[in-house]
Structures are given as structure tokens and as C-alpha cells.
A and B are shown apart, each in its own frame.
Chain A
């Protein structure tokens, strides 16, 4: 039916355009030093998360009571160097931060990915099909969005118990609505566009129109929201773990490290300062990249309000 191998269509969609686009983005990135630095930071973070075993200078559980509570930039009894100091058991803080990144970043990425997946499906279909289905979905979304999500997360984790898997589950359940509300708006706007009308005229099914035609055209704003959500989830994870309802102790996470360090805050400030700084820098870089993607993919920034309206619930 819809014949994509038709030479006439291939002429229109020239793959060379895509390549030029990509190098355009690179050039724009070269000009924007701050965003480039933010992207480098995030890439380095990702590398550390994946390759913690190879890149960490010490063992995460390597107890060394002789080198307890050393301040940053100090050298231990056996000549070992500790970039960010050590904790009350003599474990290297930098190494623990790298392993903590693995937990915090994967909670953020998995939670945001799951909520994005379900939210986009619900939102795009609601916006495209409309009717009673849309009404029901959007009423549910609006209701859930007007609840305080951190409080609900806290309560649900109290009932279910904390832990890595439950945390991601709770985030997915409490954050998909953000994506749903936004993609519903995007689908609503796309419904009357020529390309959708054309696809419909060619007899494409509703599912095909939503996922093959509308979705590729609205990827950019969803990507921006996704980036912001990863930042928000990393912050929420830290808060919940700090309170003892998130990731549980054997797993290291940045929020837990702050909670542990709090007991020694008077004598060893670095135990609290660096995990918090890691969260701060990660969230800051994600925010910077998000606003860059937003500016680059749409100069008119017509959908900017979506991201602003949804970016800030904690």
C-alpha cells in the first residue's frame, strides 16, 4: 500500500539532509562552550557508570581503617592517594561516588524511560483519537498531576518497602502523566497537519499514523522533557534515599551517601559535600543540555510552555 520504495519519495527524503543536520548541531555545540562542557560531563558520567570496575581508583568496599576520615587530596599511610578523601571506614570517597553514580543514574534513566514510554503512548493516542478515551485519560492525568508526587512516592514506598526496583516502579507510575499531557498536546496539534491528513487519505491505520507519522515529528520536545525528567528523578531519588525510603544501604546511592555523611558533618564535611555536588552538577548539566536541545531543534520555541509547565514538580 504505502509504497516507500517509490523512487519519487526517495527523492524527497534525501538522506544527505540528515547528515548535514548532524554536523550543524555539532557546529552549534562548538560555539556554545557551556553546553559542550555539560555534554562532556554527562558522557564522562556515563562512562564511569558503565565502566566503574575499570575506572575507579580503589575498591568500593575496600576497608582501610588506618586511613579513616582523610580530607580531600590526602595520601594515606601506605602511600595511597585519595582524591576526595575517605569515609569513616577508610573507603575512598571518589570510588564510592562512581559506584553511587551507577545507582542514581540508572534510577533516573530507567524511571524516565518507563514513564516516557507509557506517557507518550497514552498521550499521543489520547490526542489523536479524542473522544471519551481522551476525556478519561486526561482527567486521570490531571488528577494525578495535582497530587504532591514526592509525598505520594514517600507513602507508597513506605507501604511497599524501598529498594531499587520499587523506586523505579513508583517513579514510572507517578511521572508518566507529565509525558502524557505533553504528547497529547502535540498529537492534538499534529492531527490537522497536512502530513497526517495525507497519511489518512492514503488509508493508513490510526496506529500507523500515531507511531510512524506523528511520533517522529514530535521527538524533539519529548526528548527535552525526558532530559528534564531524568534530572528531576535523580533529585527525587536522592531525597527519598536520604529519608531511608529509597535505595537501601548495601547499594550505594548519592542520596544515601549524604545521609551517611550527615552523622559526621561536623568533622568531615567532604562526606556530605561531594555526593551533593555530584547530584547538583548532573542535574545542572541535564538542564543545560535540555535547554540547548530545545533552542536548537525549534528556533520558534513554540512548544516551550509545555516543558516549563511540567519541569518543576518535585
Chain B
């Protein structure tokens, strides 16, 4: 337990540092009131906002207030959300609570990441296991080449190429959007390419290591069917590096989704980040980046916990 507790404390600390870094960095790039109301805002409105939001207070006090707000679920408001370009003079009278905007986007990102992983895990695992079961065979070579290709490809470019082929040329699937089952296919395939490659690589090498071990020889000598040796004996022991890679890829997926969501106009949190960055909508930027960083940190933590469950013998904390 001490190790896990230490990991949790470390993660919370890391999150705290990240949130503060994002907060202070956002303050570095200019007057937050001007940013929130846009370049056309008049002086009275700016001064009112500064007074109302406490922007005249010392920075550390604002930081304390911001962190306190986050803890209470108050993520600030955005005055610019919904404008396609930076607003000239008129603004929404009432800001949109950022927490609603982010919460509204999360299901789409989770759906996309979930479908991509549902494609990538069985496919990558299957490819890796087949390659390891038939070393130096044609299938092994094919898997090696495909997994290298999956790792080397530019994700967003693959997405664009899939659009050209399946949406523009063949017209089978929509170029982008959200809501119908057909919409998720192309973005999920795009996102899955890299994890397929990496999972296949790791599964292959972990399985090769396991299949060379004495217990496999024993099992085979006892006359255990080859598929049982591979799936029930070796795969179980090869699970740890594979799980690590799946966890790594899941957190990479959450950030990789930024580009894929942009390409396919998929209304997830990645698209929200890109849109807010191009609008310089600081309240949303702060929160959405914090949320994604938090998700990644949580996934990393869960992977560490998963070790324990898979292999109770593992001694965490002795990484050296």
C-alpha cells in the first residue's frame, strides 16, 4: 500500500503543478480581461469585469481563488464561446460556464477513444500472437512490416487519405460529423492505426520471449495442444508488457484525438482545445488542457495499479 499511496500523492502533486503552470502561463500573454471580452471591448466593461472577477487582486490571491474554484467544481466562464471569429464589440451578456462545455464534449472523445481501442487491442494482439507463433514465416514478416508502418504513419494524414478514398471517391462514409454510427468509423480507424502497430510489436516480442521459456517446452512435451500453449500459458505470462503498452497507447490516444477530431469535425474535447486555442479563449483552454492532462495522469496511475492485479508477485517501487 505505501507504494500505491506514494503514486497517488505524486499524481496529485503533478496535477497541481500542471494546473498552476497552465494558469500562470495564461496570465503571461496579456490582460485576461481584454482577452475575455475581445479587442473591441470598451474601458467600462473591462473595468467592471476586472472588479467582478477580482483581476485587480495580486496574482497569488487569484491563483488561490482559481484553485479553490476548481475544487468546488467552478471552472470559470467563457464569454467568447460560440463565436466563430474573435468578436468585435458585442459579446454575450452572460458567460457560458466552462464546466458545461467540457462535460458536454467528453462523451464524444470517450466514444472515439473507446471504439479505437476496441479495434486496436484485439487486432494488435492477434497480429502479435500470430507473428510470434509463426516466427520467420510470411505472416511474421507481414505483421512486422504492418506494425512498423502503423507506427511511422502520420495520423492526421491517414485520416485525410481515408476521407479522400472512402468519403470523396467512393462515397461510402461521411467526411465528418457526429451522431450516426457511420460517423465514428473513419476517425476510429485513423486513431487505431498506431496502437495496432505498437501493440502488435510488443505482443510479438513478449510472446517470443515467453515461448522460449522452459515451461512452454514442458507443456508441449506433456502434449498440450499448441493453441492452449500459446493462448493459455504464454499469453498470460506475456500480459504485463502488453498491458503497459495498451495503457501508454490509451493516453497517447487521448492527445492524438486532438488532430483526428479536428480532421473529422468530431465534437470532442480535442476539437474544443483547438477551437479555443485559435480563439485564444483562455478560460476554456485552461480547463480543457487540465482535464486532458488529468485523464492521462489517471490512465497512467490505473496501469500501475493493473500490474498488481495481474501479477501479485511484482515488487513495485523497486524499478532500478
Contacts and interface: CB of A to CB of B under 8 A. Distances in A.
Contacts of B152: 231, 235, 280, 283-284, 286-287
B174 interface: no
Interface stretch (B50-58, B64-72, B252-260): B252-260
B296 interface: yes
21 contacts: A142-B10, A143-B10, A143-B17, A147-B296, A147-B297, A148-B292, A151-B273, A159-B25, A238-B154, A238-B157, A239-B155, A242-B259, A265-B160, A269-B164, A272-B164, A273-B164, A279-B154, A280-B149, A287-B152, A288-B148, A308-B241
Contacts of B153: 280, 283
Interface string B246-273: 0011011011101100100000000001
Given A258-B154, A279-B154, 15 more contacts: A139-B10, A146-B297, A151-B296, A243-B262, A244-B278, A280-B153, A280-B154, A283-B154, A312-B194, A312-B245, A312-B248, A312-B252, A314-B155, A314-B252, A314-B255
A276 B252 contact: no
B37 interface: no
A154 to B, nearest CB: 7
Contacts of B142: none
Interface residues of A, number: 49
B42 interface: no
Nearest to B202: A308
Contacts of A235: 152, 154
Q: Which of B245, B249, B252, B254: most chain A CB closer than 10 A?
A: B252
A159 B21 CA distance: 12
B156 A242 contact: yes
Interface string B156-168: 1110110110001
B296 A159 contact: no
B293 A148 contact: yes
B215 to A, nearest CB: 21
The secondary structure that dominates the B interface is helix
Interface in B144-191: 148-149, 151-158, 160-161, 163-164, 168
A245 interface: yes
Contacts of B154: 235, 238-239, 258, 276, 279-280, 283
B160 A258 contact: yes
Interface of A: 139, 142-143, 146-152, 154-156, 158-159, 185, 188, 231, 235, 238-239, 242-245, 258, 262, 265-266, 269, 272-273, 275-276, 279-280, 283-284, 286-288, 304-305, 308-309, 311-314
A184 to B, nearest CB: 9
Nearest to B18: A147
Contact of A154 (B149, B151, B277): B277
B281 to A, nearest CB: 11
Contact of A146 (B156, B158, B300): B300
Interface residues of B, number: 55
Nearest to A267: B168
Given A151-B293, A158-B285, A312-B151, A239 B160 contact: no
B201 A276 contact: no
A302 to B, nearest CB: 12
A286 to B, nearest CB: 8
A24 B296 CA distance: 45
Query: Considering the complex of A and B, which 7 residue pairs feature the smallest CB-CB distances, nearest first?
Result: A276-B157, A283-B152, A284-B152, A148-B255, A148-B296, A150-B255, A151-B255
Contacts, number: 133
Nearest to B151: A287
B29 interface: yes
B14 interface: yes
Interface string B21-41: 010011011000000000000
A44 to B, nearest CB: 17
B80 interface: no
Contact of B274 (A156, A243, A311, A314): A243
A103 B227 CA distance: 50
Interface of B: 10-11, 14, 17-18, 22, 25-26, 28-29, 148-149, 151-158, 160-161, 163-164, 168, 194, 198, 201-202, 205, 241, 244-245, 248-249, 251-252, 254-256, 258-259, 262, 273-274, 277-278, 285, 289, 292-293, 296-297, 300, 320
B183 to A, nearest CB: 18
Contacts of A280: 149, 152-154, 157
A279 B157 CA distance: 10
A55 to B, nearest CB: 24
B277 A245 contact: yes
B255 A159 contact: no
A301 B289 CA distance: 39
A150 B198 CA distance: 18
A106 to B, nearest CB: 18
Contacts of B252: 148, 312-314
A269 B165 CA distance: 10
A249 B42 CA distance: 33
Contacts of A311: 151
A284 B148 contact: yes
A148 B277 CA distance: 17
B194 A314 contact: yes
Q: Which of A151, A185, A273: most chain B CB closer than 10 A?
A: A151
